[in-house]
């Protein structure tokens, strides 16, 4: 029998294994912040650029993962799960096509008058309509789905068990920090124009701070896959993003300049969520 001591993972391997998700999104955030500091941030938002196309690819890939989960559960899974998965697949596909204006420029389709008179970029899509209302609805909905609803599942076992019993596919608690980091990319002008956005950021910062102070993740909570380091990554990332956007506001091309960054990070969050949903659907179907 081999009596040699068991080799434990190195600290770097443990970090990669336990914290890869928030660290990946922190790394992406640092990349975008460096681009803004170097005054190259505006180039990231160009039409048909790499990040706009990746945003569309991520949304469509997430849509495919959700549709695969729907197919896997179409006969055995509970009907609410099936139709929630189909709803997610439809929504993510819609967002992906919206991002690239339904390939309008590729097929040289003329913009209808309704969109031409209202769209900031003269494109056939809703997300560039010259109104704050659509963006307000979109960002508030993402905050609700990615941060507000998953948070009680971390803090309260009863709420977590209720959500599991309902079997509603929502972003996993591990996605809270990535969604918060994505949500923080907003110009100071935008926060002044949309004060509720700043209020939601303040709620996120206070929530992370209180969770760290009360050491709530060390208690008997619903998830064992998160600890205080996840929260520190979120709080530290938020502080750094806000500081850079404030100090280098003049490097931003216009009030909506970081929106492509937000949308790219949102798409990456939803891709990770959808991949996890597909795995859970496959597991529940085989069990």
Q: What is residue 203's predicted lDDT score, i.e. its pLDDT?
A: 93
Residue 167 φ then ψ, to 5°: 60, 35
Q: What is residue 107's predicted lDDT score, i.e. its pLDDT?
A: 47
CA-nearest of 27, 277, 65 to 177 is 27
Q: What is residue 98's predicted lDDT score, i.e. its pLDDT?
A: 82
Q: DSSP labels for 182-210? A: HHT---HHHHHH-HHHHHHHHHHHHHHHH
Q: Please give the DSSP secondary-structure letter assigned to residue 229.
A: H
Q: Please tell me the total number of residues recorded for the chain in this structure.
A: 287
The answer for residues whose C-beta is within 8 angstroms of residue 3's C-beta and 6 or more apart is: none
Structural contact between residues 55 and 260, judged by C-beta atoms closer than 8 angstroms: yes
Residue 129 φ then ψ, to 5°: -60, 140
Distance CA 102, CA 276 (A): 27
Distance CA 281, CA 272 (A): 14
Q: What is residue 5's predicted lDDT score, i.e. its pLDDT?
A: 52
Sign of CA dihedral 51, 278, 183, 119: positive
pLDDT digits 0-9 by tens, 110-166: 555 555 445 555 555 555 555 567 778 888 999 999 999 888 887 777 777 777 777
Structural contact between residues 173 and 224, judged by C-beta atoms closer than 8 angstroms: no
pLDDT digits 0-9 by tens, 2-21: 455 545 557 777 777 788 99
Q: What is residue 1's predicted lDDT score, i.e. its pLDDT?
A: 45
Q: What is residue 234's predicted lDDT score, i.e. its pLDDT?
A: 96
What angle, 0 to 180 degrees and rounded to 10, lies between the N-to-C axes of helices 132-143 and 195-213? Answer: 10
Q: What is residue 134's predicted lDDT score, i.e. its pLDDT?
A: 77
User: Three-class SS of residue 55?
Assistant: helix
Whether pTM > 0.75 for this model: the answer is: yes
Structural contact between residues 283 and 43, judged by C-beta atoms closer than 8 angstroms: no
Residue with tokens 């990349």: 31
| Residue ranges of the chain whose pLDDT lies below 50 | 1-2, 6, 107, 116-117
Written as six digits, the tokens of 47 are 């039409």
Q: DSSP labels for 98-145? A: HHTGGGHHHHTPPPPHHHHTTBTTS-S-STTBS-HHHHHHHHHHHHII
């Amino acid at each position: 029998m081999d009596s040699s001591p068991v080799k434990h993972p190195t600290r770097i391997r443990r970090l990669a294994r336990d914290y890869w998700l928030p660290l990946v999104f922190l790394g992406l955030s640092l990349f975008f912040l460096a681009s803004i500091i170097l005054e190259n941030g505006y180039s990231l938002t160009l039409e048909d650029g790499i990040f706009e196309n990746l945003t569309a690819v991520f949304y469509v890939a997430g849509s495919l993962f959700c549709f695969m989960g729907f197919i896997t559960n179409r006969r055995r899974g509970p009907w609410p799960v099936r139709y929630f998965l189909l709803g997610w697949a439809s929504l993510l596909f819609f967002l992906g096509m919206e991002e690239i204006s339904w390939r309008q420029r590729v097929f040289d389709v003329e913009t209808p008058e309704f969109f031409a008179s209202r769209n900031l970029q003269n494109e056939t899509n809703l997300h560039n309509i010259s109104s704050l209302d659509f963006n307000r609805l979109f960002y508030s909905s993402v905050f609700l789905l990615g941060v507000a609803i998953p948070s009680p599942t971390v803090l309260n076992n009863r709420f977590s068990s209720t959500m599991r019993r309902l079997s509603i596919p929502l972003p996993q608690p591990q996605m809270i920090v990535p969604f918060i980091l994505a949500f923080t990319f907003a110009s100071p002008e935008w926060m002044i124009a949309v004060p509720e956005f700043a209020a939601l950021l303040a709620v996120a910062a206070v929530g992370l701070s209180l969770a760290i102070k009360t050491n709530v993740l060390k208690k008997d909570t619903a998830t064992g896959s998160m600890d205080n380091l996840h929260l520190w990554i979120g709080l530290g990332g938020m502080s750094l993003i806000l500081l850079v956007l404030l100090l280098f506001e003049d490097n931003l091309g216009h009030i909506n300049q970081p929106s492509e960054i937000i949308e790219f990070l949102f798409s990456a969050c939803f891709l990770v969520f959808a991949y996890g949903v597909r795995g859970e659907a496959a597991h529940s179907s085989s069990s």
